[in-house]
């Protein structure tokens, strides 16, 4: 194999590769190809830099001699991906006592001394690893040289080759340092990521004609809107120029002060022209680093303009609309998770964070408010127009209204599919759960204590960052969400290429409105129990649960019927004929039981029963393991009147909608099935309810029956279940719980230890376990489709919005995924990217097949 060159001069034709020399080297080559005035640059490939880090030396004298006229040099890092970082650039290498004198002849004594001083300081800190503080009082190069000698017992190297060699070695070593490695790995770099180094002829940027350093970009980094931003420092030399002595100028003409445009109109126009050329040729919005040397323009570097998530979308859409890139490329350029930042306010990235605890990032977004420890306090504060963060051990049905009133929710216990997490995501409220190892809540004392011993009381202000899963002290600056034109356009493009349905999990009319705002293809899961969490309904629901005679139960159900009917009608109206999949009552009844004495007393009042009797009934209904107890279809079989009422409400709403011109065929889903007989029993009663409503209303309507596959047995027996239903939707929350034998409400306690120790690669409630749970999905899908080829398959657990589970479901031939309404855009973009990538690889395969057939 041919030995790789130790270094290569970057020219239009040189063999420069991103994977060998880094992105910055490749970008400079592209700029050279565009005939931009880039200073002479030598690229050291990853291999050379690795050898330097290991202690080898390169012939820096020979390297120096490749530059004409022994110029001063800079060394810049060039990682494969710019975001992976790298050591800071070092400027003015080659300055020695003799050369400073020569330089003073050209640029003046003061400027030459300044440059030397800065070089000595950066060399001392970056190469000799001295403390910057030691040089704090040094105002001249002479003083800094003395300090250097005193600190190191050696004279400052007065030889350009030694300086260059030491700089290269120290930058190579800095890349191998532990914190640099961890930092880049956190940004997705592989463990063996390489670093290239660029040795570039310095443009002094200081002198008698107009000299200076500037950065310019042609979009706003926050919004992505076109507009010139950046700065120019006359007599400045580097990015740090703003903090130096130079005169800071606006780039564009500005009434508030002098500008580059005024002072150097030709150079400014040339920069704008270069910006336009980089945009079309590099197909990206770039930030350009430039210098003026006696009025001549030099381009030192260009990199992808930094951008917020919102700007990222705007830039990609604008580039596609200007035909610089295709729509497919625009879709591929945006990471799906970046969209969630556009839907929720976020803690400003530059906000100085004082973290008090971290937990599980259960629902994205940032929220600031006063601590409250009860749902009632949250509602009371919200009623006065106050912002609050509801802090609970965990949440239950009684907290839902308080959660709705709060800006954010923090719980001590729970995991990614706990009650608090699921409800918060549905409501779009930022939420952090499972913070027990870092904080303790004492609701009675209205006190929150952190592991470090800090205490917070009701009324104290905290901030939740639900995107990162952290709790911050005090108020934080929030960045408002930005669903602008560009976002909407991107969503339309995504929808056009997506080949798997994206529905929303929407429980209430308000959720359905959100789902419809994000163009969900329908509702994939309406958890009807969430319709009962309104206070007046909760009491009736409890009366129904506690009824000890058939008449009392029916009386309560008769009161619930019109409420449910009105909700369903509203859902049908909002979704305008799109599919709506309604799940019959599912949760363990304990979720409806009153918590604490006050709740029991309230119920006793409502039912006009003695407190002791209601207490006894609450106790009587308690289960050892409610998640595996009287819930789901087991309720429907033992108390069939509940499902009868729900079926009737659904059908009556269907008939009413039809009269209003909205034709809908509701999908009714049976929860927690594990045996086909359960389906047979419920199916017969639902058919009877449909027949009755058709007769009573005189309206013909269709409906579909399906099962949410949440138990391993339902997946295994999907074949015989599919004989009775039109669809199966995999409820991967419960399925994960049951496949692992892992409580979704308690796993938060040990999940981080499990993930840290590599027992699980990731929390399986967050990221679908494609091996175990996934195998059951495939098995269930195959067995179901073998029994009924037109069986509709979907997933409606929290995994529904994740890119990797969408990829899994697409591959397995599922019809749609369903996720919380706020995740619909993210899911749609992920699905679009999968479709585009598949199409591209199919095209590649067919063109290589064609090539093979060429005679
Ligand atoms: C599930 O179990 O995946 C599901 C969607 O139902 P829930 O989260 O309501 O239990
Ligand atoms: Mg479930």
Ligand 1 atom showing the smallest separation from residue 529 Cα: 9
Q: What value does the mean pLDDT take over residues 375-396?
A: 88
Residue whose CA is closest, atom 8 of ligand 1? 733
Q: Exposed e or buried b for every residue in 114-127, given b needs 16+ CB within 10 A?
A: bbbbbbbbbbbbbb
Neighbouring C-beta atoms of residue 532, cutoff 10 Å: 24
Specify burial of residue 219 (Cβ count, 10 A radius: 0-12, 13-18, 19+). buried
Q: Which ligand has the nearest atom to the CA of 736?
A: 1
C-alpha count within 13 angstroms, C-beta hemisphere, residue 126: 26
Query: Comparing 28 with 598, which gets the higher pLDDT?
Result: 28
Instruction: Output the CA 788–ligand 1 centroid distance in Å.
Output: 24
The SS3 of residue 650 is: helix
What is the percent of the chain with per-residue pLDDT over 70, rounded to a whole number? 97
Provide φ and ψ at 671, rounded to 5°: -90, 155
The pLDDT assigned to 241 comes to 44
Q: Do 339 and 346 meet the contact criterion of CB atoms below 8 Å apart?
A: no
Nearest Cα to 392, choosing from 362, 438, 435, 453? 435
Query: DSSP secondary-structure letter at 153?
Result: S
Nearest Cα to 688, choosing from 634, 632, 645? 645
Ligand 1 atom showing the smallest separation from residue 422 Cα: 8
Instruction: Output the CA 517–ligand 2 centroid distance in Å.
Output: 26
Question: From residue 297, how far is each of 31, 200, 552 by CA, in Å?
Answer: 14, 16, 87
Q: Is the pLDDT of residue 243 over 70?
A: no
Mutate to test the pocket of ligand 1, among 635, 733, 739, 817 (most ligand atoms within 8 A of CB): 733
Instruction: List beta partners, residue 368.
Output: 463
Instruction: Output the CA 828–ligand 1 centroid distance in Å.
Output: 21
Residue whose CA is closest, atom 3 of ligand 1? 731
Report residue 3's pLDDT band, with 50, 70 and 90 as the boundaries.
Answer: low
Element (H, E) at 693: helix 676-697
Residue/partner pairs of 776-779 with CB below 8 Å, 24 or more apart = 776/712, 776/715, 776/716, 776/735, 776/739, 777/715, 777/730, 777/732, 777/735, 777/808, 777/809, 777/812, 778/812, 779/715, 779/716, 779/718
Distance CA 575, CA 654 (A): 12
Instruction: Output the CA 550–ligand 1 centroid distance in Å.
Output: 30
Nearest Cα to 851, choosing from 843, 58, 120? 843
Q: What is the pTM of this model?
A: 0.81
Query: DSSP secondary-structure letter at 437?
Result: T
Neighbouring C-beta atoms of residue 606, cutoff 10 Å: 16
Residues with CB under 6 A from ligand 1: 417, 422, 525, 527, 586, 710, 731-734, 796-797
Mutate to test the pocket of ligand 1, among 710, 739, 777 (most ligand atoms within 8 A of CB): 710
The SS3 of residue 356 is: strand
Neighbouring C-beta atoms of residue 608, cutoff 10 Å: 6
Mutate to test the pocket of ligand 1, among 527, 591, 634 (most ligand atoms within 8 A of CB): 527
The pLDDT assigned to 854 comes to 47
- Find the radius of gyration of the CA atoms of the chain: 33
Q: What value does the mean pLDDT take over residues 771-800?
A: 96
Q: Is the pLDDT of residue 240 over 70?
A: no
Q: Do 806 and 827 meet the contact criterion of CB atoms below 8 Å apart?
A: yes
Ligand 1 atom showing the smallest separation from residue 527 Cα: 9
Q: What value does the mean pLDDT take over residues 795-807?
A: 92
Instruction: Output the CA 338–ligand 2 centroid distance in Å.
Output: 28
The SS3 of residue 790 is: coil
Looking at every residue in the chain, the average pLDDT score rounds to 90
Residue whose CA is closest, atom 6 of ligand 1? 731
Total residue count of the chain as it appears in this document: 855
Digit-coded pLDDT (tens) for 81-117: 988 888 989 999 999 988 998 888 877 888 888 889 9
Q: Which residues are catalytic?
A: 419, 796
Q: Which ligand has the nearest atom to the CA of 798?
A: 1
Query: Comparing 426 with 682, which gets the higher pLDDT?
Result: 682
Query: DSSP secondary-structure letter at 854?
Result: -
Digit-coded pLDDT (tens) for 343-370: 888 898 778 888 999 898 888 899 999 9
């Amino acid at each position: 194999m041919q030995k790789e060159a130790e270094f290569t001069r970057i020219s239009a034709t040189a063999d420069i590769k991103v994977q060998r020399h880094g992105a910055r080297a490749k970008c400079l080559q592209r700029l050279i190809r565009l005939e931009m005035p880039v200073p002479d640059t030598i690229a050291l490939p990853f291999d050379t830099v690795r050898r330097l880090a290991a202690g080898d030396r390169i012939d820096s004298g020979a390297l120096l001699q490749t530059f004409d006229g022994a110029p001063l040099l800079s060394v810049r890092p060039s990682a494969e991906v710019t975001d992976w970082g790298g050591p800071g650039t070092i400027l003015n290498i080659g300055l020695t006592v003799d050369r400073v004198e020569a330089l003073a002849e050209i640029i003046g004594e003061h400027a030459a001394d300044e440059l030397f001083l800065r070089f000595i300081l950066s060399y001392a800190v970056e190469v000799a690893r001295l403390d910057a503080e030691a040089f704090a009082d040094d105002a001249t190069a002479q003083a800094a040289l003395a300090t250097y000698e005193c600190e190191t017992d050696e004279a400052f190297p007065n030889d350009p080759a030694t300086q260059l060699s030491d700089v290269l070695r120290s930058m190579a070593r800095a890349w191998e340092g532990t914190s640099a490695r961890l930092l880049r790995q956190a940004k997705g770099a592989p463990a063996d990521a390489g670093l290239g180094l660029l040795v570039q002829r310095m443009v002094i940027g200081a002198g008698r004609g107009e000299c200076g350093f500037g950065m310019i970009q042609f979009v706003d980094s926050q919004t992505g809107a076109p507009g010139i931003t950046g700065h120019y420092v006359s007599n400045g030399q580097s990015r740090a120029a703003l903090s130096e002595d130079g005169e800071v100028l606006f780039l564009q003409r500005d009434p508030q002060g002098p500008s580059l445009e005024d002072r150097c109109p030709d150079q400014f126009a040339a920069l704008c022209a270069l910006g336009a050329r980089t945009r079309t040729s590099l197909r990206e919005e770039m930030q350009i680093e430039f210098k003026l040397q006696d009025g001549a323009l030099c381009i030192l570097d260009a990199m992808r303009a930094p951008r917020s998530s919102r700007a990222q979308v705007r830039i990609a859409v604008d580039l596609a609309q200007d035909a610089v890139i295709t729509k497919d490329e625009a879709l591929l350029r945006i990471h799906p998770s970046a969209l969630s930042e556009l839907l929720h306010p976020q803690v400003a990235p530059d906000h100085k964070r004082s973290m008090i605890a971290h937990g599980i990032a259960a629902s994205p977004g940032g929220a600031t408010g006063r601590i409250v420890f009860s749902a009632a306090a949250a509602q009371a504060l919200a009623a006065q127009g106050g912002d609050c963060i509801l802090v609970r051990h965990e949440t239950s049905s009684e907290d839902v209204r308080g959660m709705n009133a709060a800006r954010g929710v923090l719980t001590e216990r729970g995991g990614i599919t706990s009650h608090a997490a699921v409800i918060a995501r549905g409501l779009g409220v930022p939420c952090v759960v499972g913070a027990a190892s870092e904080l303790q809540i004492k609701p009675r004392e209205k006190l929150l204590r952190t592991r470090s011993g800090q205490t917070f009381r009701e009324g104290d202000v905290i901030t939740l960052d639900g995107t990162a899963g952290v709790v911050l002290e005090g108020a934080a600056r929030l960045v408002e969400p930005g669903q602008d034109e560009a976002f909407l356009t991107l969503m339309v493009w995504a929808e056009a290429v997506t080949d798997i349905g994206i529905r929303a999990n929407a429980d209430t009319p308000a959720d359905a409105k959100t789902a419809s705002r994000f163009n969900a293809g329908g509702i994939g899961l309406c958890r009807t129990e969430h319709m009962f969490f309104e206070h007046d309904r909760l009491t009736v629901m409890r009366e129904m649960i506690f009824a000890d005679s058939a008449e009392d139960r029916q009386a309560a159900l008769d009161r619930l019927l019109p409420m449910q009917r009105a909700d369903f009608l509203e859902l049908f109206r909002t979704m305008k004929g799109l599919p709506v999949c309604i799940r019959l009552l599912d949760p363990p009844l304990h979720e409806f039981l009153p918590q604490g004495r006050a709740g029991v007393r309230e119920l006793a009042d409502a039912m006009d029963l003695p407190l002791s009797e209601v207490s006894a009934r609450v106790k009587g209904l308690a289960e050892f393991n409610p998640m595996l107890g009287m819930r789901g279809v087991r309720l429907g079989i033992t108390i069939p009147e509940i499902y009868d009422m729900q079926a009737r409400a659904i059908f009556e709403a269907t008939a009413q909608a039809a009269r209003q011109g909205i034709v809908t065929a509701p999908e009714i889903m049976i929860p927690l099935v594990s045996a086909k007989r359960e389906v047979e029993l419920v199916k017969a009663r639902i058919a009877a309810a449909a027949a009755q409503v058709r007769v009573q209303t005189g309206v013909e309507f269709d409906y579909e029956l399906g099962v949410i596959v949440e138990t391993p047995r339902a997946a295994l027996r999907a074949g015989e279940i599919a004989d009775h239903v039109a669809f199966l939707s995999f409820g991967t929350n419960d399925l994960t719980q049951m496949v692992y034998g892992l409580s979704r409400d308690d796993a938060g306690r040990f999940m981080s230890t499990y993930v840290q120790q590599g027992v699980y690669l990731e929390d399986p409630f967050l990221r679908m376990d494609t091996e175990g749970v996934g195998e059951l999905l495939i098995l269930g899908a195959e067995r179901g489709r073998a029994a009924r080829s037109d069986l509709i398959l979907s997933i409606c657990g929290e995994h529904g919005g994740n890119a990797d589970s969408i990829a899994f479901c697409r591959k397995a031939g599922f019809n749609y995924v369903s996720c919380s309404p706020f995740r619909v855009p993210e899911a749609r973009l992920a699905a679009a990217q999968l479709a585009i990538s598949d199409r591209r690889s199919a095209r590649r395969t067919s063109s290589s097949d064609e090539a093979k057939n060429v005679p």
